[in-house]
Structure 1
Amino acid sequence: MKNRDIVTEFKKASASQGGTQDCVEVAHTADGGRAIRDSKNPGAMQFCTPTGWAAFLDGVKAGEFGD
């Protein structure tokens, strides 16, 4: 069974800290996955399993999402 309890604070990318720009925030979940939300709509969240999050990061590192 997945445990989607959020166990850390949501964090923004370091590039957006201190600015007025809206951004994506990420927190760890109890099952090792991640909770993702938009800073301007923090009540709506998307959850990734640990495997899904790892695949997403691999795709980012490989440049699979364009510019």
Structure 2
Amino acid sequence: MVVDELKCKGLDITKLVGLATDGARVMTGRNGGLVTLLQEHSPTIIGVHCAAHRTALATRRQLS
């Protein structure tokens, strides 16, 4: 579905080199995550955890 939508928008998946995500498993999971799905079409894609999301997680107050 995602691949079809990208193609519908005229985007060439083979030219995609990276994808920044919020780190959720649905995005980065090895078994069906978006990065893995896109790597099936373009194996050179690199998935990274967005710096802003990582900072937000690191600075979040812990509830006691």
TM-score, structure 2 length as denominator?
0.30
Bigger relative contact order, structure 1 or 2 (CA pairs below 8 A, ≥6 apart): 2
From the CA coordinates, give the structure whose radius of gyration is larger.
2
Q: Which has more helix, going by share of residues?
A: 2
TM-score, structure 1 length as denominator?
0.29
